[in-house]
Amino acid sequence: MKVGQDCNELHKALKYNKLKEFVRLLIHRNKDQRQDLQKTYQQKFEQDLKQEVKSHFSGSARDAIIGLLMSSVEYDAFWLHNSMSGGATHEATLIEILATRDMQALRDIKENYRWEYNSDLEGDIAKQRKGTCSV
Domains defined along the chain, listed by start: 3-69 (1.10.220.10), 72-129 (1.10.220.10)
- Residue (of 117, 116, 125, 123) closest to 98 by Cα position: 125
Alpha-carbon gap, residue 120 to 47, rounded angstroms: 29
Task: Express each pLDDT in 53-92 by its tens digit.
Answer: 999 999 999 999 999 999 999 999 999 999 998 766 688 8
The structure's pTM equals 0.79
